[in-house]
């Protein structure tokens, strides 16, 4: 479980650095509060997707 949490933290940082510029460009015309909310939701979903992909496959 510890390694899973470390992987989650790693993927979160990879996601943040890879997508931050995209999100800033996409949200330029949105009010700052909505911008922060949208960006947080985007990164949360991206990090969750990365964590799911990092799990061992249950298919044989």
Q: Quick: pLDDT tens for 2-56.
A: 565 555 555 555 555 555 555 555 544 444 566 666 666 766 766 677 677 776 6
Question: pTM score > 0.75 for this model?
Answer: no
Please tell me the distance from the alpha carbon of residue 41 to that of residue 27, in angstroms, as a whole number: 13
Nearest to 22 by CA among 46, 2, 55, 6: 46
**Structural domain total, the chain:** 1
Enclosing domain of residue 43: 2-53
CB–CB of 51/7 below 8 Å? Answer: yes
60, part of any domain: no
8, part of any domain: yes
How many other β-carbons are positioned within 10 Å of the β-carbon of residue 14? 13
Nearest to 9 by CA among 43, 42, 33: 43
């Amino acid at each position: 479980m510890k390694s899973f949490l470390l992987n989650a933290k790693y993927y979160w940082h990879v996601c943040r650095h890879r997508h931050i510029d995209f999100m800033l460009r996409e949200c330029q015309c949105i009010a700052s509060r909505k911008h922060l909310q949208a960006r947080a939701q985007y990164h949360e979903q991206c990090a969750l997707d990365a964590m799911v992909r990092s799990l061992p496959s249950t298919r044989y």
